[in-house]
Structure 1
Amino acid sequence: MQVSIETTSKLERRLTVGVPAARVDSEVDSRLQKAAGNVRLPGFRPGKVPMKVMRQRFGAGVRQEVLGEVMSQSFQEAVVQEKLRPAGQPNIEPKNLDAGKDLEYIATFEVFPEVELAEMTGFNIEKPVAEVSDEDVSNIIEVFRKQQGSWNTVERAAEEGDKVNIDYAGTRDGEAFEGGSAEGSDLELGSGRMIPGFEDGIVGMKAGDEKTLSLTFPEDYHSEELKGAAVEFAVKVNSVTALEPAELNEDLFKLYGVEEGGEAQFRKEVAENMSRELKNAVEGKVKQQVMDAVVAAHEGLEVPKALIAQEVNVLRNQMFQQFGGAAGQNLDLKSLLPDDMFTENAERRVKLGLILSEMISKFELKADADKVRSTIEDMASTYQEPEEVVNWYYANPEQLSSVESKVLEDAVVEKLLENAQITEKECSYQEAIGQAQPQA
């Protein structure tokens, strides 16, 4: 087999591969001979079809099949021979496929870049420092009570946080406009669902009250026709309902998995969950800063377009599923969710993956089995049957691998933090939770 290599760009390579005709022809003959034993053709006894007839009837199809396999196999042999690491599938351009002549083709592809690790010392990290106070626990419990509460009709004037059922009709210069009217519409005051001033204008109204609101659409409103438009809304309130939080009792505790111990145990478990959330949020914030520093330190690293394209597809499918999409739906996802929505994030993720992989190798890190176990147990602790969740992870290689990858990433972060300048910043629980960002 003859191989020549050409570097067409920093990451792109072009291989010209020549495969002796004998390799293709012998494989074609071998397959035709095997097939002859099973082929039934009129005028010939089973298993007695002459090779000349086999070549005439089936030779072209078998040859095409063999050519595809030989090109795939010889490409793999060529990249091993040339010590190349292809990133993605090659683009194969046949040059000579004629029978009796050497097979020749050109394979164009990208290779993984050589990652030269930058010196990661002295970069700045701001670490939030917070505690879960009794007040924080009470505030979260109040949220739980509201989540499980009931909406009851009230005779008083509407307040922020109430729900109102309204009829409204919008006009611009005395003319109705599209989407500006509704009957029997439910609206939670303070939700920000309507344009500025609409919900505030209903505060103080009772069931049966009517009012005309003079408002202006925002300049950045999605409808071109209504951007900055002065309008009026005639509003009638049909009913006002207020949220009555659920009682702090055994029924509420059971809804959140606390069967025994009453309010004291409920508060204890809520506090433990909040502490776990706080720990994860702080770690997430610190990790995000470390990753930002890693990317900044390797700004010049070029990554293969093929890997970016693969990552774009991963992110697109994740978003599709996140918003309720199901596999098998006949949708053009690339039109619905175009590449440019994901390209920047995909490039960052690919770059980080390559750099972290090199760091893991350099630092000789391994996914510690005890750390993997504790990570899974920590995630499982929020479920009613933690042991079942733990067993599920260990029974699913793909899920287990994702946890091992996280553990390795965390090990890299821990290693890099040894040379970072860490400044602690005291803040409240809510501030620390709000600061945490999802990992790219």
Structure 2
Amino acid sequence: MQVIETLAEGLKREIKVVIPAKDMEQRMNERLAEVKDKVRINGFRPGKVPTSHVKKMYGKSIMAELVNEIIRDKPSAILSERGEKSATQPEIVMTEDEKEAEKILSAQADLEFTLSYEIIPAIELKSVDGIKVTREVVEVSEDEINEQIEKIAESARTFEAKKGKAADGDRVTMDYLGKVDGVPFDGGKDEDAELVIGSNRFIPGFEEQLVGLKAGDEKVITVTFPAEYPAANLAGKEATFDITVKEVASPAKTEINDELATKLGVESVEKLKEIVRGQIESQYGNVTRQKVKRQILDQLDALYKFESPSKLVDAEFENIWRQINTDLAQSGKTFADEDTTEEAAREEYRALAERRVRLGLVLSEIGEKAGIEVTEEEMQRSLFAQLQQFPGQEKQILDFFRNTPGASASLRAPIFEEKVIDKLLAEVSVTDKTVSKDELLADDAEEGDKPAKKAAPKKKAAAKAEDAAEGEEAAPKKKAAPKKKAAEGDAE
């Protein structure tokens, strides 16, 4: 077998592989000898079939098996011998000429094929002694805990029917039918919908028009959907809602005490405070973690500069670009609305894709050299978290991960990355800094892991796009959930 390097430019490699016809014929004869005693052919006793006859009947099919095995196994063996790692699955090219293929299967022509691939560059790991990060820490105050408990209490608040007119804070139970240009639209109808005036769960201008209504009243409410509303058929449109009020109820007084805690499934108000404190600390901890991680990545980005495999960058860019265009389409905006051009956005997101790939390779090398592994238990926990996000679709998700090659990598990669970050955090210089909640949550656009601000669709548009992806089509359906759903949302 001949292995000839025909291209070595940057990270690109091309290898020509030639296996002489006589070698292929020898392999075929060895395989024929193995099956000779197993074949059953009428007119011949078992094990007495002439080799020439077996070759005539099965030679080409056996040769085809050999070719497939070589194409399957040789590329990885060749890369291993060369001490190279391919960034993606090598592209294999062999003859498509039927006559030439027939000669190969008949052992009358050499088997030739070409491997084309990009190598993962050799990365010389550098000392992280110079990396310094500031870990922002927020001290959770009693006032903040009580404030959060009060919000939770709102979700458990009871209402008592009243005869008077609806006022701010009252709950209105109603039937409604939404129309655009006099025509009802999907998702614009509901019965016995409950809405607390002032909760801002409906589109702007809707709730205010309920003030002053009482049980039995009917009214036509006119509102305009926001321009960035995720349902394109409703965005920016004026709509009317035929309202029939069924009940007006005023909120009962709530007190933060053991009775409230019991209602929420906790044994005491002190235990409730403990749980809320833990939740707040966890939320702040996640933000702190992301900020620290960003600082590490930014400094690694400055430390490591090398060419990244173009196919990996292309794939990463396509993923980013697809999401950006989806967000823009869902929000009804254009690049011009975001104060940029498509060309400028492409350039910046391309740079982001290149950074992500390069840092991914660096983290992978660090983790590999440190012997970091992702356990099966960690993979299972990650999969379970995926299943929890999509109730009712568990079977489809399981089938996807079981039957899709490489799908498990999407579970493994983030776990591996976080374990590498943990390792680095134990080695770099970390200084804790106590900050306020506002300082921690300040929107500091990440320069390295995010393109320039004007090139990225606004957060609101992205959020609306996510809402649309969940199938929310009309504002009342989205923002006027029944009482139970509203309570769950507030509790979160």
Length-normalised TM-score, structure 1: 0.67
Q: Deviations over 1:8-67 (max 9, x none)?
A: 653321110112334422332222222222221211122222212211221111111111
Q: Trace 1:353-364 onto structure 2 (pairs within 5 A).
A: 353-359=360-366
CA distance in 2, matches of 1:90, 1:31: 28
Q: Does 1:410 align with 2:422?
A: yes
Query: What residue number does 2:66 align with?
Result: 66
Is the CA contact 1:24–1:70 (under 8 Å) kept in the aligned structure 2?
Answer: no
Q: Secondary structure at the match of 2:421?
A: helix
Give the whole-Å Cα distance in 1 for the aligned partners of 2:233 and 2:286. Answer: 46
Q: Please state if 1:135 is matched with 2:143.
A: yes
Residue number among 249, 255, 277 corresponding to 2:258 in the alignment: 249
Which amino acid in 2 is paired with 1:355? V
Distance 1:277 1:104, change over 3 A: same
Whether contact under 8 Å (1:120, 1:297) holds in the other structure is no
Q: Which residue of 1 aligns with 2:87?
A: 87
Task: Kindly provide the amino acid, as one letter, of the partner of residue 120 in structure 2.
Answer: F
Indicate the residue corresponding to 2:118 in structure 1: 110
Could you say which residue in structure 1 is the equivalent of 2:274?
A: 268
The aligned amino acid for 1:409 is I
Give the C-alpha shift of residue 202 in structure 1: 2.0
Question: Where do residues 414-425 of structure 1 align in structure 2 (5 Å cutoff)?
Answer: 414-417=426-429, 424=433
For 2:263 and 2:140, the matched residues in 1 are separated by 23
What is the SS of the residue equivalent to 2:358?
helix
* Secondary structure, aligned partner of 1:159: coil
Task: Give the equivalent residue in structure 2 for 1:3.
Answer: 3
Query: How far apart are 1:200 and its partner, in Å?
Result: 2.5
Q: Tell me which residue corresponds to 1:337.
A: none
Amino acid at match of 1:132: V
* Stretch of structure 1 that moved more, 118-127 or 217-226: 118-127
Question: Could you tell me whether the CA contact under 8 Å between 1:79 and 1:85 is conserved in 2?
Answer: yes
Deviates more, 1:217-226 or 1:27-36: 217-226
Indicate the residue corresponding to 1:201 in structure 2.
Answer: 209
The one-character-per-residue Cα deviations of 1:273-311 (angstroms, maximum 9, x if unpaired) are: 543443343223221343245446657642352586499
Amino acid in structure 2 at the alignment position of 1:201: Q
> Tell me, what secondary structure is at the counterpart of 1:89?
coil
Larger mean CA deviation between 89-98 and 222-231 belongs to 222-231
Mapped to 2, the partners of 1:241 and 1:132 lie a distance apart of 35
Aligned residues of 1:124 and 1:423 also touching (Cα < 8 A): no
Q: Secondary structure at the match of 2:44?
A: coil
- 8 Å CA contact 2:192–2:246 kept in 1: the answer is no
Counterpart Cα distance in 2 of 1:295 and 1:93 = 36
Q: Residues 425, 109 of structure 1: CA spacing in aligned structure 2 closer, same or farther, 3 A cutoff?
A: same
| Equivalent in the alignment of 2:18 | 18
**What residue in structure 2 maps to residue 352 of structure 1?**
359
Deviations 1:101-125 (A, max 9, x none): 3321111122113446789898896
Match of 1:285 among 270, 291, 296: 291
Rounded Cα–Cα distance in structure 1 between residues aligned with 2:113 and 2:259: 74
Q: How far 1:168 moved relative to its partner?
A: 3.7
**Matched length:** 379
What is the distance in 1 between the residues matched to 2:273 and 2:92? 64
Name the counterpart of 2:175.
166
| Equivalent residue number for residue 326 of structure 1 | none
Q: Which residue in the other structure is 2:193 paired with? A: 186
Could you say if the C-alpha distance between residues 217 and 270 of structure 1 is closer, same or farther in structure 2, counting changes exceeding 3 Å? closer
For the residues of structure 2 that align with 1:228 and 1:367, how far apart are their CA atoms? 52
CA shift in 2, pair 1:242/1:227, >3 Å: same
Return the alpha-carbon distance in structure 2 between the equivalents of residues 343 and 47 of structure 1: 64
Amino acid at match of 1:351: R
Q: In 2, are the aligned partners of 1:253 and 1:266 still within 8 Å (CA)? A: no
Contact 1:311/1:350, CA 8 A, preserved across alignment: no
* Structure-2 change in CA distance of 1:306 and 1:194 (3 Å): same
Structure 1 residues 210, 406: CA separation in 2 closer, same or farther (over 3 Å shift)? same
- How far residue 355 of structure 1 moved from its aligned partner, in angstroms, is 1.7
Call closer, same or farther: CA 1:436–1:135 in 2, change over 3 Å.
farther
SS in 1 for 2:87: strand
In percent, how many aligned pairs have the same letter? 26
